[in-house]
Chain A
Amino acid sequence: DAGVTQSPTHLIKTRGQQVTLRCSPKSGHDTVSWYQQALGQGPQFIFQYYEEEERQRGNFPDRFSGHQFPNYSSELNVNALLLGDSALYLCASTQAADTGELFFGEGSRLTVL
């Protein structure tokens, strides 16, 4: 049973560029949440996707956008990258009918130069 998988694992971009990160949820899960984890800090909620729609959003600018596909996989897009966007981006999945545990992927480490 595959867990949450994310790609790429590492990437380097320059300021102003755009990036797309990808996530496949755990088998049987239909809800995907994205988190940003800056160095030395806890994960911060970016947004959540369910039934191919953004259902909830944290305190992140519109430069952060996402998408969910019919197979429940998801993408996180960040436009006009800033140095401060350097972080570990985590994807977590749950099953909408379940409550509680989040299953996290290993993350995508983004460095903005």
Chain B
Amino acid sequence: QQQVKQSPQSLIVQKGGISIINCAYENTAFDYFPWYQQFPGKGPALLIAIRPDVSEKKEGRFTISFNKSAKQFSLHIMDSQPGDSATYFCAASKIANAGKSTFGDGTTLTVKP
């Protein structure tokens, strides 16, 4: 049973455009929702994370929107750049137990110059 569903599987965006990736979770006990960025040959690295007590969190060009009632959260990348081309994973866990995170299947983002 997949507890975190991520879409789309792949995304192509023009430089300067907005990239949007969506995730839905099932376990209402989850209270920590991070996004990880993974480049080829590298391990995932934390990009931004949100807790359900806020509906939005912004860090630079990256924004997480969170909808607790719908059990959905999304990553928005503003002014997308070719250097943003990577695979993005959403994840969910209990914040006190982030070592046991449930990941989505990833979105491969390609930003065309």
Contact = CB atoms under 8 A, between A and B. Distances in A.
Interface of A: 4, 31, 33, 35, 40-45, 48, 56, 58, 90, 92, 94, 99-107
A101 B99 contact: no
Q: What is the interface residue range for chain B against chain A?
A: 20 to 34
Interface of B: 4, 6, 32, 34, 36, 41-46, 49, 89, 91, 95-106
A32 B34 CA distance: 18
A56 B100 contact: yes
Contact of A92 (B49, B99, B105): B99
Given A41-B106, A42-B89, A99-B95, A104 B45 contact: yes
9 contacts: A4-B43, A31-B99, A40-B105, A43-B103, A58-B100, A90-B43, A99-B95, A99-B98, A104-B43
